[in-house]
Amino acid sequence: MISKKMQNGLNKQLNAELYAAYLYFAISAWFEGENLEGFAAWMKSQALEETSHAMRFYKHILERGGEVELFEVKKPEAKISTPLEAFQAAYEHEKKVTQMINDLVDLAEAEKDNAAIYGLLNWFVSEQIEEEDQTLKVVEKLKMIADSKQGIFMLDRELGARPLPASQTIVNPGSGED
């Protein structure tokens, strides 16, 4: 059984993962408008992956006999006018998510909830290392490229190679690469 405090923390994180999906869908749409389809595809894949993160919380809460509570998802607020700003927004957001996951680990420790720590949050601690690393690498490449149209074109090609997550992975997370 899950404590009320833990349940509330996990429901808030479920919401934060859905907000991340919203943010990345918004950024993806911005890239589409710029005809940067590779960047757009990468962000869309990331948005879908965020929904699979939300589903991990959803599944865990229910498995632990808790109640899933769906809060309102706020409107994404990022103002984007360059690819660099888009990836900086993603990187900044991932740092916030890392802090939220760390806070949840602290809460789970206080609640002595080993199931949450080892059955759920442990995976997210590693995942956040990947998320920060991936977004920061693109930020750094974009800084290197600066205003080179050719550089942007090549990076668009490179990022466009990222496949969309399988729908099974989104609905039933843990069964694929995310």
Binders of Fe ion among 14-33, rule CB under 5 A?
Answer: 17
Of 22, 137, 152, nearest to 82 by C-alpha is: 152
Cα–Cα distances in angstroms (integers) from residue 81 to residues 32, 44, 52, 88, 171, in the given order: 13, 18, 28, 11, 33
C-alpha torsion 55→24→46→116, nearest 10: -30
Q: Which is nearer to Ca ion, 63 or 130 (CB)?
A: 130
53 is an interface residue for Fe ion by CB under 5 A: yes
2 vs 20 by CB, closer to Ca ion: 20
Residue showing the smallest CB distance to Fe ion in the complex: 53
Token pair for 103: 């806070």
Query: Is the CB of 12 or the CB of 162 nearer to Ca ion?
Result: 162
**Helix spans in 34-147 (H):** 37-63, 83-110, 114-116, 122-145
Least distance to Ca ion from the beta carbon of 171, Å? 17
Helices (H) and strands (E) in the chain, counts: 7, 0
Contacts of 13 (CB under 8 A, 6+ apart): 57, 100, 101, 104
Closest distance to Fe ion from the beta carbon of 1 (Å): 26
Task: Give least dist CB 15 to Fe ion, A.
Answer: 12
Name residues whose C-beta falls within 8 Å of residue 110's C-beta, 6 or more positions apart in sequence: none
Instruction: Residue 64: name its binding partner from Fe ion, Ca ion, none (Cβ under 5 to 8 Å by kind).
Output: none
Stretch that binds Ca ion, among 35-43, 80-88, 90-98, 129-137 (CB under 5 A): 129-137
93 touching Fe ion, by CB under 5 A: no
| Residue number, 146 or 161, with CB nearest to Ca ion | 161
Stretch binding Fe ion (CB under 5 A), from 13-21, 30-38, 113-121, 133-141: 13-21
Question: What gap in Å lies between CA 157 and CA 10, rounded to an integer?
Answer: 37
Contacts with Fe ion by CB under 5 A lie at 17, 50, 53
Contacts with Ca ion by CB under 5 A lie at 130
